Structure 1
Amino acid sequence: MDRDQNILDYLQDRLTAADREAFEAAMAQDGSLAAEVSVMRSVRAQLAAAPKHESADAVWQRLSAEMESRPPAANDDRPPWQQLLKYAAVAVLAVAAWQVTIVPRMGEAPGGFRTASEQPAAFTFQVKFVESATLGEIAAVLGPLGGTITDGPSALGLVRLSFAEAGLRDEALKALEGQVELVEFVAD
């Protein structure tokens, strides 16, 4: 126990008989402790003699009610896992909402391409598009021709185009040879 608490316990007769004797012996040896006890006795005597406020109990009741009506502190020492659980739930809901609302609207892959598991058509040729050709420009040319990119670009920049029919292949071959601003060369 600290010194101040011992002094208060001594003045309020809350010490056992053995502790009281030990405290009085300590006061007899330590003059500063005896002086502190003397000061505390005089303060207690003056407070007891002072007139009591006529509505002291009402004031205390009003203060007590005000303190109890306050909301709990923001740092109420909740376990941190509860906050993490909230963040995880928000993340799961966001991913689920994305999958349900956005992904179906994203549409199919752009035309003119095939998946790796798809078998290419039998009618093919290779094309090297100019370096500045964009995917949009290439798709705009291949769409009406009925061509599908089935392989490439290779290390040399060659792209293999496939067609469902020989007639479509021949028409596309002639059409792409005339596209000098987009096609660098066509290899049969």
Structure 2
Amino acid sequence: MEQQLASFARQCANTELDADYIRNVTSPNFFRNFWVRNMALERGIYNQIIDTTVEMANRVGVADIVRRLVENLKDESEPYRRMVMETIAKVLTNLGATDINGLLEEELVDGILYAFQEQTSDDEVTVIFHGFGAVINALGMKVKPYLPVIIVSIKWRKFNGSENVKQQATDLVSRIEVVVRQCQGEHLLEGL
């Protein structure tokens, strides 16, 4: 039943329906019924929910979808945070972040930092790191005001974790280094 409903929502997102209809009718019901914690544990539907959400973003825009998801980056459920991060990363990778600004931008950076700092499972690491890098790269120059806190967070993990965590922090720096340099934040990378 859940897979049929997710498939239906995805088909709706792919049709010639007006973007306002998807934004105001389909999307609220989809998020209310499918973007719940237990769906992150259902591998059969997990990817369908992400794909459907990405399709909706293609129709209604990045900001509308990210706005619905961003607070879930701080959810207490690590698998759910992973699902949210994976979705946001795919949306931003596909469509960019040009329509994200102001408060949503702040909430997004705060959310990815929280998800990054709170990860404990090795299963989550790759998705969280990839998502973190995707968000930073999509935001580009918009990330400049947040660079000090981002780099401090990475440094903390680099110098206070296991060898595996230290290596992951180093890998994350390499993923965002281009943006850091574009924002003239090379000095922040000293010691990494």
TM-score (norm 2): 0.19
Higher strand proportion: 1
Higher helix proportion: 2
Larger radius of gyration: 1
TM-score (norm 1): 0.19
